[in-house]
Amino acid sequence: MSSPLPTTARQWVLYETDNGIDSLKLETAPIPSLGQFDVLVRFHALSLNYRDIVLSSGNYPRGRKFGCVQGSDGAGEVLRVGDGVHEFKVGERVATTFFRSHLSGRFTAAKGQSDLGGHVDGAFRDYGVFPAQGLVKIPYSLNYREAATLPCAALTAWSCLFSDADEHVQPGDTVLTQGTGGVSLFALQFAIAARANVIATTSSSEKAAMLKTMGAKDVINYREIEEWGVKARQLSPDQMGADIIVDIGGAATVGQCLKAGKPGNGQICLVGHRTGGTAQGLPTTWDVRQAALKVRSIFVGSRQQFEDMNKAIDAWKIKPVIDAKTFKFEDLKEAYRYLVSDE
């Protein structure tokens, strides 16, 4: 005899940000009725991103709606499907998509209003109803905890290397990554699987050793080498520069990225803003022109890209790099603080 379906769910909601992380509120709310094209999901694992911290601090640069259930990244089990849903079956394993309206093709402003935890209710709840188009089946080779890391960090990295415009990383290309955050580590794994060479930057010998173990050809300590962009170019084949640069730093790092890139067909993928939007010595528009690089803004990726990525993860047998520490659902604030302390 099957268990009755739940009627309420615990959820973490952010109404305001005056108290930062402490503004998060744990509530119990009724589970909405299932529409024709909806899916009821029981979450088994959730994952935090730097974006979640920025949302809670009130510094999210792209706007948000107050009162949203937080979180973009979750993996769980299908409990029930609407009458019009044929893609998913009860018992299947699924993950959330970051932009539930970005199904394929180019990113648009309208698609950007469908971000989980920002403008629509997100994944930080134990049960949730989602439109079927806002979910994907998770890779066969990953468990729930591993799959919960995919919707934001992994897909962002994938979009840097495998764009909708077919500007894909090629065997022998040089990819430059920054640090050991989720996007950078996934980019390293995807690049190596695609038989590219990776140059990585980091701030410590311990992290450098990890990056080398993961397959980075060269690692630059940016605390020791201020002109790390110049060094990266010197380390690239024939000192021509990196083909793809995954920039998670923002204002304070883009200048070095311009120095590191390959003129003509190199590209800088702008992903994050860890250093903020302003910095001393920002490059001018003339500097950007003279670098002769393509600069792309990356906004995670589409549902189609997510599905393509999941196939590759299975084929390449990629396992996400996950912190060993876990938290109970009710201790989400402590997870936030742990992530902040590790930044």
CATH of domain 156-297: 3.40.50.720
Structure tokens at 219: 């690692």
Domain residue extents for the chain: 8-149+322-341, 156-297
For domain 8-149+322-341, give the CATH superfamily.
Medium-chain alcohol dehydrogenases, catalytic domain (3.90.180.10)
Of 62-76, 104-118, 268-282, the one with minimum mean pLDDT is 268-282
- pTM, two decimal places: 0.94
What does the pLDDT look like over 142-167, one tens digit per residue?
A: 999 999 999 999 999 999 999 866 67
What mean pLDDT is reported for the chain?
93
> Given this chain, do its domains 8-149+322-341 and 156-297 carry the same CATH topology?
no
What does the pLDDT look like over 86-118, one tens digit per residue?
A: 999 999 999 999 999 999 999 999 999 999 999
